[in-house]
Amino acid sequence: MKISSPAFQHNEFIPRQYTCQGEDVNPPLVIENIPKAAKNLALIVDDPDAPMGTWVHWVVFNMTPTDEIKENSIPGLQGINDFGQLNYGGPCPPSGTHRYFFKVYALSKMLSLKEGMSKGALEKAMAGHILDEDELIGLYKKEK
């Protein structure tokens, strides 16, 4: 399985429109070679470079297997992010360049989780059910 974006390349800068300094909407994502046995997909977007520890930007689960997540979309049920919201919260580093990990998981079953659960609850529910996974890393540094 492979995740990519037509908006930015792996380990390259995320365009401003997908950040807190722009429209703050999710970038388009492309997912290739999803296992045929996948019942659903999950997506976690987080920033391990945040000063207080890894910052969660987006949690989505029980997505119908698809090869495309459209820009500014809600492709499945959403968990709570570290902004305290049920949506995509774009890159907004306080200083320096941060890395943003877009991690996709193909799962062997639908998850019995309610919208609003945490990244940790999702990771616990996915354990033992991950058929494949991949990640795309984007970078962002606030513009002055």
- Domain holding 31, by residue range, is 2-141
**pLDDT tens string 16-53:** 999 999 999 999 999 999 999 999 999 999 999 999 99
Output the domain CATH number for residue 49.
Answer: 3.90.280.10
* Predicted structure pTM score: 0.97
Write phi, then psi, for 123 (nearest 5 degrees): -60, -40
- Overall number of domains in the chain: 1
Give me the pLDDT at residue 143, please.
85
d(CA 114, CA 29): 24
Q: Return the pLDDT at 87.
A: 96
Which stretches of the chain drop beneath a pLDDT of 70?
none
Q: Give pLDDT, residue 35.
A: 98
